[in-house]
């Protein structure tokens, strides 16, 4: 993995998020892969834990943010309507004292719209320290989303105080929504909760028109999933944006 970083074998694929009513692209999420010359494209679940154990997640995480920012600049330069790009952040990154400075440095001078996604369980871990960091990130015009919402343990008292703009409902709820009335109730409740706190809601892992239709009825704002597009390399994203 160290060699992979040195030899620039990591790549970012991009998965669009779309408005549930208009199906217009509202932003994209950057998802890392390792282009291993021996075995081909390796998905993140197979190497992120190892990056975290070795601390390599710090340089690789910083690389992901600067690469996303560079790709965003490229899209603007091409005259495309460049979407905001959300990058996933790991616990180890967030825990660093200098996390905010490292994000600022990775984004670079010209503020292309870079956002961050942080998992729910992670945010609630050291809430007081995290609120301060999140506020500083907001000051850099970085928007923040709570990822995998519903799988962790959120304190509702804190949720209202967190400087976040978006909740992403975890794929597991979307998956069971169609055949499990309880899952449907939970999704509906999460959407109402988010809206009551003036947060935007994104449903993850939407694969069928039926799910999209239900989510639209439940007034979910945006969706992401194979129904609209899988994560794609930059060149394909360019085509999607034209």
* Shorter beta-carbon distance to Ca ion: residue 115 or 148: 148
Give min distance, CB of 147 to ligand C2E, in A. 5
Contacts with ligand C2E, residue ranges (CB under 6 A): 15, 31-32, 43-45, 48, 61, 64, 87-90, 117, 147-148, 205-207, 225-226, 231
Could you tell me if 104 and 65 are in contact, meaning their C-beta atoms sit under 8 angstroms apart?
no
Q: Which of Ca ion, ligand C2E, none lies near 179, with the C-beta cut-off 5 to 8 A by kind?
A: none
Residue nearest to ligand C2E (CB): 225
* Shorter beta-carbon distance to ligand C2E: residue 88 or 130: 88
Q: Which candidate, 186, 158, 156, places its Cα nearest to that of 170?
A: 186
Provide CB contacts within 8 A for 116, sequence distance 6+.
86, 87, 88, 89, 103, 137, 142, 143, 144, 145
Give min distance, CB of 190 to ligand C2E, in A. 16
Could you tell me if 223 and 210 are in contact, meaning their C-beta atoms sit under 8 angstroms apart?
no
Angstrom distance (rounded) from CA 183 to CA 169: 11
Give min distance, CB of 68 to Ca ion, in A. 13
Angstrom distance (rounded) from CA 205 to CA 149: 13
Residue nearest to Ca ion (CB): 117
Q: Which of Ca ion, ligand C2E, none lies near 65, with the C-beta cut-off 5 to 8 A by kind?
A: none
Of all helices (H) and strands (E), which one includes residue 194?
Answer: helix 181-196
Q: Which of ligand C2E, Ca ion, none lies near 231, with the C-beta cut-off 5 to 8 A by kind?
A: ligand C2E
């Amino acid at each position: 993995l160290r060699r992979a970083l040195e030899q620039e074998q990591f790549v970012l694929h991009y998965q669009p998020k779309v408005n549930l009513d208009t199906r217009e692209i509202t932003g994209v999420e950057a998802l890392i892969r390792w282009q291993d010359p021996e075995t081909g494209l390796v998905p993140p679940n197979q190497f992120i834990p190892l990056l975290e154990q070795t601390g390599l997640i710090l340089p690789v995480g910083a690389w992901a943010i600067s690469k996303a920012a560079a790709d965003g600049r490229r899209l603007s330069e091409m005259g495309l309507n460049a979407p905001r790009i959300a990058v996933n952040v790991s616990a180890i990154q967030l825990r660093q004292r200098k996390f905010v400075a490292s994000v600022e440095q990775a984004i670079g001078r010209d503020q292309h719209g870079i956002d961050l996604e942080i998992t729910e369980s992670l945010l609630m871990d050291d809430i007081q320290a995290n609120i301060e960091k999140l506020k500083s990130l907001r000051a850099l015009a970085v928007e923040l989303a709570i990822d995998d919402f519903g799988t962790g343990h959120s304190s509702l008292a804190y949720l209202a105080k967190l400087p976040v703009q978006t909740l992403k409902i975890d794929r597991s709820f979307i998956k069971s929504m169609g055949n499990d009335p309880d899952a449907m109730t939970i999704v509906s409740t999460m959407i109402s909760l988010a809206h009551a706190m003036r947060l935007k809601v994104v449903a993850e892992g939407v694969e069928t028109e039926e799910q999209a239709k239900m989510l639209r009825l439940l007034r979910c704002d945006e969706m992401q999933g194979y129904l609209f597009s899988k994560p794609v390399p930059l060149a394909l994203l360019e085509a999607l944006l034209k």
